[in-house]
Structure 1
Amino acid sequence: MSKIIFNEHQRQVLEKNPNVASVSDRAIQYTAEFKIRAVKENLAGKGPAQIFIEAGFDLEMIGLKKAQSALSRWRTTYKTSGEPGLLEERRGKGSTGRPTSKQLSAEKKLEKAEARIKYLEAELELLKKLEALERQAKKRRF
């Protein structure tokens, strides 16, 4: 998370930039077109500072580090997924994360269920031991 917090005036200035899709108090969401153009310019030899300044951003406001890290992320995405990777939103519901149980094979589901049963049995044993120790402690007090 960024340490820079944008005030209302800064957010309004950033939102006026045609390369910005939206702005929150800590984050800037850039348009896909800008991301693609920035990556191509960077691969051609331009630095992050020059790209962002030419695109109308005030680096004093957003910070050079924010520009560098954004461009680094976009380059990685561009190398792995190409332009389509930068065009689609990869956060939220549509993202690829932990696979759901629907995608697992029957063998994997069984393996997962057996591991869960083993875990729950161990937890139950631990709770039984804890309960027995608490009963012993109560008997000693009285």
Structure 2
Amino acid sequence: MSKILFNEHQRRQLELNPNVASISDRAIQYKAEFKICAVQENLMGKGPSQIFIENGFDLEIIGVKKAKSSLSRWRKTFKTYGEQGFLEERRGKGSTGRPSSKDVSSEKKLEKAEARIKYLEAELELLKKLEELERLAKKRF
């Protein structure tokens, strides 16, 4: 999360930029098309500051570090996933999303169910012991 806080005037100015998808007090979400274009221009030799300035961003507002770090992150994404990496949602570091239950074999489902049953049985035993201890404590007083 950025240490920069955007004021209302700065947020309005950034919202007018066609390369911005959304903006909050601390974060700018850029459009995928801009990210792809920026990475390709960077690979051809343009610097992050130059790319952002040419695309209508005021580096006084967003900061030079933000431009550099964003482009660095986008290059990694581009290297790993290509253009498709910017077009699909992939939140979280190295995330592949929640595993689909459709792809799970019946053996895995059974294994998971047995583990859950074992956990719930242990939980029930613990609750029974706790109730017994509470009853004993009440009898003593």
**TM-score of the alignment, normalized to the shorter chain, above 0.5:** yes
CA distance in 1, matches of 2:62, 2:26: 10
Query: In structure 2, what is the equivalent of residue 115 of structure 1?
Result: 115
Runs of 5+ in structure 1 lacking a partner? none
Identity across matched positions, percent: 78
1:45-81 alpha-carbon deviations (Å, 9 max, x no partner): 3332232223221222112332233222211221122
2:137 aligned with 1:137: yes
CA distance in 2, matches of 1:73, 1:118: 43
SS at match of 1:102: coil
TM-score (norm 1): 0.82
Q: Give the CA deviation at 1:131.
A: 1.2
1:88-117 alpha-carbon deviations (Å, 9 max, x no partner): 14158xx94111323211111111111111
Query: In structure 1, what is the equivalent of residue 105 of structure 2?
Result: 105
Higher mean alpha-carbon deviation, 62-71 vs 74-83, is at 62-71
- Which contiguous aligned blocks of 4+ residues in structure 1 show a shift greater than 3 angstroms? none
Query: In structure 2, what is the equivalent of residue 70 of structure 1?
Result: 70
1:8-30 alpha-carbon deviations (Å, 9 max, x no partner): 21111111222222223332221
Structure 1 residues 1-142: aligned runs within 5 Å: 1-86=1-86, 88-90=87-89, 96-141=96-141
Instruction: Give the count of matched residue pairs.
Output: 138
SS at match of 2:6: coil
SS at match of 1:21: strand
2:61 counterpart letter in structure 1: M
CA distance in 2, matches of 1:64, 1:115: 51
1:19 counterpart letter in structure 2: N
CA distance in 1, matches of 2:89, 2:10: 26
SS at match of 1:5: coil
CA distance in 2, matches of 1:120, 1:130: 15
SS at match of 2:21: strand
TM-score (norm 2): 0.83
Q: RMSD of the alignment, in Å?
A: 2.1
